[in-house]
Structure 1
Amino acid sequence: MSRSTKERAVDLLVEEGLSLNRSLDVVLLPKSSYYYQPKAIDEETMNEIRRLAFRWKREGYRRIYRRLRRSGRTINHKKVYRLYCLEGLKIRTKPKRKKRNASSQQLPLPKNSNEVWSMDFVFERTIDGRKQRILTGIDHLTRENTILQAEFTFSSEKLIRYLNTLERLPRAFVLTRGV
């Protein structure tokens, strides 16, 4: 519960006839916090922080704090951070670029169905906690689900046996191998 919410609760209890001290005890709000008046924002310091932030756009509040200290101001780093956030200033973060693997190549789109299928394993847990492996396959051109087989254990022999039972097979398989 925030301080302002607690203060409102104390005011309501006092209106109901409870003493101030008892209301503060019930709400667990110290008397000093109840009577505390926040200090006004120092506009001169705020303007200086704003000026430094626009002058050096790639510097955060810590560097601005150091520059203020070097210029002779006695200011706490927490106050600089509070004013920095209050002003809505922040360093613009560059979006991370996706790293391309040198060995990975973009496959050409197949011209006919059943040319290229992707296969992958999906893992699910049953109600009794056992791990179930589900082999899934999809045709690259038609996006048709071509393989769907669930087993608790999937050995390579079992996989080959299952693939041999299929009516049709592609010319090539693409395996993600957990990537």
Structure 2
Amino acid sequence: MKLNIRRRAKKRLPERVKKPLFVPGTVNEVWSMDFMNDALWNGRKFKLLNIADDYNRDMLAMEIDYSLPALRVIRALDDLKQYRELPKKIRMDNGPEFISHKRNEWAKENDVELVLSSQESQHRTHI
């Protein structure tokens, strides 16, 4: 049985220009934010927002709830601002949880640069 079906060639995406991963030199220079998901015994899903200092790997905040909208993320950052100096940069992935105009406005108002982890290479340089 000879079927003459053409094979499609894979589309090659252009290679992204990656910057090396920035290694902070002091506390509060770069923070990282990321979400984790899990489920309870009854199947109900919940999310965790983790905010950590990249210099000393200190866990600054952890928000846990069934839903963590952008305003809740901003509230967590404002709570941190009460007792810590805000960083120069906040590193995050470009997942759907972090797509928000309000978060971008908050960063601009507080002079914080938002850096997507996809823009940096994952090769860490050890000092």
Q: TM-score, normalised by structure 2?
A: 0.56
Note the residue ranges of structure 2 that are not aligned, 5 or more in a row: 1-14, 96-117, 119-127
1:175 and 1:113 map into 2 onto residues whose CA distance is 18
Q: Is the contact made by 1:122 and 1:133 (CA closer than 8 Å) also made in structure 2?
A: yes
- Report sequence identity in percent: 30
2-structure distance, mates of 1:103, 1:121: 25
Mapping 1:142-153, distance limit 5 Å: 142-153=56-67
1:108 deviates by: 2.5
- RMSD after superposition: 2.0
CA distance in 1, matches of 2:59, 2:38: 18
| Aligned AA (1:172) | K
The structure whose residues are more often helix, as a share, is 1
Higher relative contact order (Cα pairs below 8 Å, separated by 6+ residues): 2
Take 1:127 and 1:103, find their aligned partners in 2: how far apart are those partners?
Answer: 43
Q: How does 1:33-48 map to 2 (within 5 A)?
A: none
CA drift at 1:172: 1.1
Counterpart of 2:123 in structure 1 is none
**Residue in 2 aligned with 1:172?**
89
Instruction: For residues 47-76 of structure 1, give each alpha carbon's deviation from its aligned partner in whole angstroms, at most 9, with x where no partner exists.
Output: xxxxxxxxxxxxxxxxxxxxxxxxxxxxxx
Of the two, which has the highest radius of gyration? 1
State the partner residue of 1:127: 41
Q: Deviations over 1:79-131 (max 9, x none)?
A: xxxxxxxxxxxxxxxxxxxxxx5243223311111110111000010122111
Query: Partners of 1:146 and 1:103 in 2: how far apart?
Result: 31
Length-normalised TM-score, structure 1: 0.41
Please state how far the C-alpha of 1:176 moved relative to its aligned partner.
1.7
Q: Please, which runs of 5 or more residues in structure 1 have no aligned partner?
A: 1-100
1:118–1:109 distance in 2 versus 1, CA, 3 Å: same
User: Which amino acid in structure 2 is aligned with residue 174 of structure 1?
Assistant: R
Aligned pairs for 1:80-91 (under 5 A) are none
Partner of 2:77 in structure 1?
A: 163
Per-residue CA deviations over 1:114-162 (Å, capped at 9, x if unaligned) read 1101110000101221111100122111111122111111111111112
The 5-angstrom pairing of residues 71-82 of structure 1 reads: none
